[in-house]
Chains A and B, each alone.
Chain A
Amino acid sequence: MLDRLQELKDEAIQKVNEANSVKELKDLRVAYLGKKGPITEVLKGMGKLSAEERPKVGQMANEVREAVADLINEKETKLEEEALVAKLREESIDVTLPGRPVGKGSKHPLTSVIETIEDIFIGMGFTVAEGPEVETDYYNFESLNLPKDHPARDMQDTFFITNDLLLRTQTSPVQTRTMEKHEGRGPVKIICPGKVYRRDEDDATHSHQFMQIEGLVVAEGIRMSDLKGIFEQFVKRYFGQDREIRLRPSFFPFTEPSAELDVSCAICAGKGCRTCKHTGWIEVLGSGMVHPNVLSMGGFDPEKYSGFAFGMGVERFAMLKYGIDDIRHFYTNDTRFLSQFNRV
């Protein structure tokens, strides 16, 4: 009988090893370990055995049963694993196919420039002030030291609505409006972004509507060296740490002394190229110490207070930053243009 069990064991092992599917294993389990299987048969014949032999055969039968059962389990696990691997392989996808897009519109490049500049100045303690686009002659010109018949009015050809009402030619009127609100008490630290209008024919470099950002600081003891310091911080944050600044004397009716701010050219690192007209410098904004007449008209005592103001063209900043060559692109709203800025 022991021989028979050994035989059964060998036979079962061989068959399990040869089995290739879970189904075959299931059948083998039933065939060898089931109630009608040969091992059970062997055990049924134990009654004929001597008391001595019986435990030996019993033990052996159990060992064989366990060994076969383990083997089947082991093989089953292995086959299941193989089946899973095969199944997953079949489920494989082309990961290079395009993903399901999540809608992302773009910020207009002009907004992007404005928000970036706003944030830099907010970080330096400025607030953002706004004002109307239809202005009075007083706020747009007179309060900025540009009385009627001042030749400098020619610098800005104006869209008049009436003799007294006009489309603002600059964001500077927000200066006076803000100073008035402060009722002669400093400090005032604002920047004022907004649309402005001038009678220019639209072409690659001119637009009858464009955007400016005006800045104004009024407090006791403000010096021209402070203007330089604020500009240096601004330029390094906006244009990059390695940019340098220089001031050039200039003229604006509402500042005295006045200065243009130049930034070293990023393209040629100051060596001279087409972008900087071979000067190594790029003009970025106009500025100066607030003219005493402007302080007075804004309700500040020029003997006690001083300040500086600056104004920059948003389109110019955007053109410099993104290398845009035609100002009209900003107002055409072509999606092939706009969607290039959906990362800014």
Chain B
Amino acid sequence: MLVSYQWLKKYIDIDDLTAEEVAEKLTRSGVEVDLVHSMNKGVKNIVVGKVLECEKHPEADKLNLCQVDIGEDESVQIVCGAANVAKDQHVVVAKVGARLPGGMKIKRAKLRGQTSEGMICSLQELGYEGKLVSKEYTEGIFPFPTEMTPGEDAMEALNLGDQVLELDLTPNRADCLSMIGTAYEVGAILGRDVKLPETTMERGQENASDYVSVKVDANEDNPYYGAIMIKDVTIAPSPLWLQTTLMAAGVRPINNVVDITNYVLLEYGQPLHAFDYDRFGSEEVLVRRAKDGEKITTLDDVERTLTADYLVITNGKEPVALAGVMGGANSEVQSDTKNILLEAAYFKGTTIRKASRELGLRSDASARFEKGVDPSRVRAAGERAAKMIAEIAGGTVLSGIVEFNELDVTPKEVTITLGKINGVLGTSIDTDTVKEILSKLQFTFELEGEMFRIFVPTRRQDIQIEADIVEEVARLYGYDNIPTTLPNTATTPGGLTEVQAKKRKARRFLEHAGVNEAVSYSLTTGEKESHFHEDADSLSRVKVALPMSEERSTLRTTLLPHLLDALSHNKNRSNLNVSLYEIGSVFHTEEETITKQPMETAMLSGAFMGLCYEHSWQGEKKAVDFFVVKGIVEGLLKELKMEGDVQFVQSEPKGFHPGRAAKLLVNGKEMGVLGQIHPSVAKEWSLPETYVFELNFHALVEGKGKEIRYSPIPRYPAMDRDIALVLDETVKASEVEKVIVEFGGDLLKNVALFDLYQGEHLEAGKKSLAFSLRYQDPEKTLTEEEVTKVHESVLAGLEERLGATLRS
């Protein structure tokens, strides 16, 4: 809502306050003013001029030579390029030395050999937005609609000294979508009265009911419909004050009758509609739901197909307006309109909302109906507009209003005690203060002991319950005056749950391992995920009904594509060594057509490219490889105290290098994958050798985790034996270790692989693995013989099970 400061002054005495002061007071009490802007965008020294002569420029077809009286001794010659400039017009002249918005300074000039002493201005040149300028003048200069005095200050005539408060209204304060409503709000803050406009007028002899009847077949949607008849009007441009007032409020002037309905809409917050009575098509107004498939061409010349959800105004046969949203083209007020049928109605918000949303037609009118207009002001707004039409456009307002009226205008009654108010706020406000606040709000009330019985005016439909009254009292009492206390409740132990604490541990572990945390979007595209899932378009995916773009159409089922996006983004910016991790949810449904909330599973994923370690001047460098990533995953499992049998099983998940990927199994249950991204998939992202892991974080942290139990430090010495085995290439290190452990028995305390060799010193198809075995007995010092006995059986076992021989 744009509130002109000058206009506001018509309803409330604020001469002692600047626009900025009013704005600050409104903001502090709950109606936020975003900005106070000035109508003057930097204009100086402009006057009214009268065009005395206007001829074509001898040298240029498109220019005019104008002799203009600017109230000085002699007229001046101005070269003007506007097509609509004409003799006898009163125009805005920027004199030599004047300033226009953007710092433009007007100088004496010569245009094709003719001197030009100033400039005849369009409204856009004065800083008005093109969309606010009456269509007649958007392409040319602005001629004043009435006679003016040459030399008169044009800034004053155009009311450029005005300032406009831009209200950022919350949805509950629809009452401030009008000048009168805003005046009430300012009045409540300042404790001042509101002056309402005069609506009594002279009426014609004839009765409106002789010209029109009103019937409503949808009384739920339309509990009030009032029709006012005005005969013999003259359609013309509005007077200047009306045009400038509307433009300041952000509304484009059209013609006097339409401008008046818009003016009253802004003044009362009540939308009105003027029909051309002679084009209405009958003498009967019938309001009803539209028929399915019924059509109407609206004022914007678009044919619209209606459904039974929409409310229409008809002439008994066909729709003439889409109720509360937009009028029909067939009954539009035009330049030759003589008789006006003026509609002042109350339409139900939800009905209007549905139509305006579905048709994409949101207007000042629909916005007000949607939020609920003041039922007590509907008729008054109609009368106010009729009075103004008669005054400005001439014509006679016929007697009476033809009405359908089932509108409830009883004030809402809310009761509250002083104790309740103070109890909620933590204040000790007294009865007199509450009385004073209610009076400022112009709420009538009765005081019964401690109990206030409050009758809320219909303009404040947001006030329904006790809590609403508490807020009204609080905001006018001043939030600053509420004391500062701490809750009296018993203390509660705060803290993180075990899972939340583990999440933090995992984050810290990864960060200390040199991995940066990433956060990416949950919405993605099926196409990206198809690299990792066979079932990219299958049932398990959760899709947004009306995506904003294909890129953000589905909820992700894996974090990997967005991490690869991030690597790719970095690579394109020459960040070549990147390690990222992310913890985030993925989404799956098991339903064919989703009806229930999908499963949300927290995943922990990482993506790596380039070097994971570099200390260049000492020549230390480590490119990421499978084992770097595996080491991080193993460390993480330890950090999370993962209990049980952890296995990395060679596998070929989709999207991975078939020889460099593994599944992580914990107690036989799949917990994740890790490995190198398949080079052809990496190519899709233009990535070099890239490694990733993706773990089911939810499953990893759900268990209790292994408790640490101290085991005594061995008192007897250990004996180490190293063995280098020659094996078939296909034998896995984990298999060898398993055999060693099996045959090593209780005395074997530790096995560690320390070398892998493949190459020229071995026969083809063979490799060598070297292990260090540690033997120890907690009870005594082991003898050489005892160790040898066990060790021999380990070697025998290795040979028997895996065909391993000792490397000579």
Contacts and interface: CB of A to CB of B under 8 A. Distances in A.
A232 B486 CA distance: 10
Interface stretch (B51-59, B61-69, B170-178, B203-211): B170-178
A2 interface: no
B579 interface: yes
Contact of B173 (A118, A167, A220, A251): A251
B30 interface: yes
B424 interface: yes
Contacts of A167: 522-523, 544, 555
A89 interface: no
Interface string B438-479: 000000000000000000000000000111101100110001
Count chain A CB atoms within 10 A of each CB in B28, B171, B497 and give the residue with the most.
B171
Given A186-B489, A223-B424, A111 B600 contact: no
B521 A331 contact: yes
Contacts of B514: 103-105
B332 to A, nearest CB: 29
A105 B500 CA distance: 20
B312 interface: no
Contact of B544 (A122, A127, A159, A332): A159
Contacts of A130: 500
A133 B474 contact: no
A338 B575 CA distance: 12
Given A97-B617, A134-B597, A165-B594, A232 B484 contact: yes
B293 interface: no
Contacts of B519: 108, 110-111, 330-331, 333
Nearest to B565: A333
Band of interface residues on A: 35 or more
The SS class assigned to the B binding surface is mixed
A338 B482 contact: no
Contacts of A209: 521-523
Interface string A122-147: 11111110101111100000000000
Interface string A248-266: 1111010011110000000
A187 B522 CA distance: 34
Contact of A162 (B488, B517, B575, B595): B595
Contacts of B513: 103, 105
Contact of B426 (A101, A223, A230): A223
Contact of A107 (B486, B507, B578): B507
Nearest to A261: B479
Interface in B574-618: 575, 578-581, 584-585, 587, 594-595, 597-598, 600, 612-615, 617-618
Contacts of A123: 494
A155 interface: yes
A161 B545 contact: yes
Given A187-B489, A224-B474, A122 B483 contact: no
Interface residues of B, number: 98
Given A250-B30, A334-B569, A107 B517 contact: yes
Contacts of A104: 511-512, 514
Interface string B3-29: 000000000000000000000000111
A338 B518 contact: yes
A211 B544 CA distance: 19
Interface in B744-773: none
Given A220-B489, A225-B482, A259-B479, A134 B523 contact: no
Contact of A161 (B32, B171, B543, B573): B543
B598 A247 contact: no
A249 B468 CA distance: 12
B485 interface: yes
Given A105-B510, A226-B487, A333-B580, A187 B569 contact: no
A226 B171 contact: no
Interface string A86-100: 000000000001101
B548 interface: yes
A103 B486 contact: no
Contacts of B213: none
Contacts of B480: 246-247
A152 interface: yes
Contact of A289 (B29, B424, B485, B520): B424
B566 interface: yes
Contact of B494 (A121, A134, A152, A250): A121
A29 interface: no
B370 interface: yes
A92 B513 CA distance: 32
Contact of A226 (B353, B486, B552, B569): B486
A162 B27 contact: no
A151 B171 contact: yes
B512 A105 contact: yes
A339 interface: yes
Contacts of A249: 28-30, 471, 474-475, 479
A132 B597 contact: yes
A306 B424 contact: yes
Nearest to B351: A149
Contacts of B426: 223-226, 228
A98 B543 CA distance: 51
B560 interface: no
A219 B497 contact: no
Contacts of A250: 30, 32, 170
A222 interface: yes
A21 interface: no
Interface stretch (A8-16, A35-43, A74-82, A195-203): A195-203
Interface in B610-645: 612-615, 617-618, 620
Nearest to B515: A105
B349 interface: yes
A187 B486 CA distance: 14
Count chain A CB atoms within 10 A of each CB in B29, B504, B521 and give the residue with the most.
B521
Given A108-B519, A125-B492, A228 B485 contact: yes
Interface in B534-589: 542-548, 552, 555, 563, 566, 569-570, 573, 575, 578-581, 584-585, 587
A225 B484 contact: yes
Contacts of B600: 132-134
Interface string A307-340: 0000000000000000000000011111110110
A132 B555 CA distance: 13
A106 interface: yes
B197 interface: no
A249 B172 CA distance: 12
A20 to B, nearest CB: 38
A151 B349 contact: yes
A144 B169 CA distance: 20
Given A103-B512, A334-B569, A108 B517 contact: yes
A306 B489 CA distance: 12
A263 to B, nearest CB: 14
A136 to B, nearest CB: 7
A189 B492 contact: yes
A127 B499 CA distance: 13
A100 B620 contact: yes
A45 interface: no
A118 B587 CA distance: 26
B475 A292 contact: no
Contacts of A258: 471
Given A111-B519, A134-B555, 4 more contacts: A151-B349, A159-B544, A224-B474, A342-B516
13 contacts: A103-B512, A105-B581, A128-B500, A151-B174, A189-B494, A222-B489, A228-B485, A246-B479, A256-B468, A257-B471, A292-B465, A331-B521, A333-B519
Interface of A: 97-98, 100-101, 103-108, 110-111, 115, 118, 121-128, 130, 132-136, 149-152, 154-155, 159-162, 164-165, 167, 186-187, 189, 195, 197, 199, 201, 208-209, 217, 219-226, 228-230, 232-233, 246-251, 253, 256-259, 289, 291-292, 306, 330-336, 338-339, 342
Q: Which 3 A-B pairs have the closest CB atoms?
A: A103-B514, A225-B426, A249-B30
